[in-house]
Amino acid sequence: MNALTEKSNAKIILDNLRISFGDTEVVKGVSFAVAPGECFGIVGESGSGKSTILRALVGLNQAWSGSMIIGGEAQLPVRQKRFYRRVQMVFQDPYGSLHPRQTIDRILSEPLIVHGFLNIEKRIKDALSEVGLPQAVRFRFPHQLSGGQRQRVAIARALISEPEILLLDEPTSALDVSVQAEILNLLTDLRERRKLTYILVSHNLAVVTHLCTRIGVMIGGEMVELLSADDLRSGHVVHPHTAELRSLSLSLEEPD
């Protein structure tokens, strides 16, 4: 089914993941694997279950069944603190992912304090410059920053504890198009520089194919197709839903 033959090298392996909210099954037996350093994308419309998978991967949702192996370790629903040194997440809404009553400095120092890092001052300064923010924003509050700046802070916060895996839940959906381009470039650079593994969730096919090499397509809680970004671009698709999403993206989102 997927092109990864050496599963033992995979960073993340999901097998038959099932998640239910009450009586409704929201994720129905999803399986995929992500290689180290790869960017894996999950596309689907709202209600397809893609964000739910991310939340289960990161331990925010604990009512799942199936097998989840991350970084070679089988995972239980409740995660240990050291898990969060390896895996982090960036949320969709820049207006809701930063604590409204804390300065950026405080927000960035929290993961460092919890994990017992030293040199907090220097790490914060480095984190800000790494995501392209001026030092001047350090002691501002989130409401004083623009949407793009807040998202950069969210990325800085995710990376400040030096994880290997970054989960991105629609990181640019709430941003203006010009800001989106900057954030996508930033994410590309960071992945190369730090050798990170990404899982990116989005409803925007163009964004996902831009950043990711392999893509899983979801509808109604099932992953109906796994294909490479090149195949999706060129139209070598198998499942009708994938074809529909692709043709919609081409007809609605392309300028020509």
Partner 1 sequence: MLVDIKNLHITFATNSGNVDAVRGVSLSLDKEKFGIVGESGSGKSLTARCLMNLLPASAQCRADTLAFDGIDLRNASEKKMRQIRGKRVGFILQDPKYSLNPVMPIGKQVAEAWHTHKGGSKKQAMEAAIDLLDQVRIRDPHKVAQRYAHEVSGGMGQRVMIAMMLAPDPELMIADEPTSALDATVQAEILRLLDDLVSSRGMGLILISHDLPLVSKFCDRVAVMYAGRIVETLQAGDLLNAQHPYTRGLLECLPSLKHPRARLPVLVRDEAWKTS
Partner 2 sequence: MTTLPAIPQTRAGTRAWLLADTPHTRTQAVWGRRYRLWLGLRANPLAVIGLFTVLLVLIISICAPLLTSYDPGTQDLANRLAKPSAEHWLGTDELGRDTFSRILYGGRITLGMVITVVAIVAPLGLLIGCVAGYTGGLLDRILMRITDIFLAFPRLILALAFVAALKPGIESAILAIALTAWPPYARLARAETMQVRGTDYIAACRLTGATSARIIWRHIMPLCVPSLVVRITLDMSSIIITAASLGFLGMGAQPPSPEWGAMIATARRFLFEEWWVPLIPAVAIFVTSLAFNFLGDGLRDVLDPKGR
Q: Which residues bind partner 2 (CB under 8 A)?
A: 58-60, 79-85, 88-89, 91-93, 96-103, 105-106, 110-111, 114-115, 136-137, 139-141, 154, 157, 161
Kindly report the number of other CB atoms within 10 A of residue 226's CB atom.
20
What's the token pair of residue 183?
């954030």
Residue 51 interacting entry, from partner 2, partner 1, none, C-beta within 5 to 8 Å by type: none
Query: Which C-beta is closer to partner 1: that of 5 or that of 46?
Result: 46
Q: Are strands 197-202 and 24-34 parallel, antiparallel or unpaired?
A: unpaired
Minimum Å distance from CB 180 to partner 1? Answer: 8
Residue 120 CB: number of other CB atoms within 10 A?
Answer: 14
Nearer to partner 2, 64 or 91 (CB): 91
Q: Residues near 31 by Cβ (< 8 Å), separated by ≥ 6?
A: 1, 14, 15, 16, 17, 223
Q: Minimal distance in Å, beta carbon 182 to partner 1?
A: 5
Name the pairing type of β-strands 165-169 and 197-202: parallel
In whole angstroms, the minimum distance from the beta carbon of 220 to partner 2 comes to 24
Interface ranges with partner 1 (CB under 8 A): 45-46, 147, 176-178, 180-182, 184-185, 188, 203-207, 209-210, 229, 232-233, 244-246, 248-256
Chosen from partner 2, partner 1, none, partner binding at 118 (C-beta under 5 to 8 Å by type): none
Closest to 10 (Cα-Cα) out of 38, 30, 31, 29: 38
Contact partner at residue 105 from partner 1, partner 2, none, CB < 5 to 8 Å by partner kind: partner 2
Q: Which does 65 bind (CB under 5 to 8 A by kind): partner 2, partner 1, none?
A: none
255 binds, among partner 2, partner 1, none (CB under 5 to 8 A by kind): partner 1
How far is Cα 224 from Cα 29, in angstroms, rounded to an integer? 11
- Report the sign of the C-alpha dihedral through residues 242, 214, 63, 6, in that order: positive
Distance separating alpha carbons of residues 15 and 31, to the nearest angstrom: 4
Please report how close the Cβ of residue 157 comes to partner 2 at its closest, in angstroms: 7
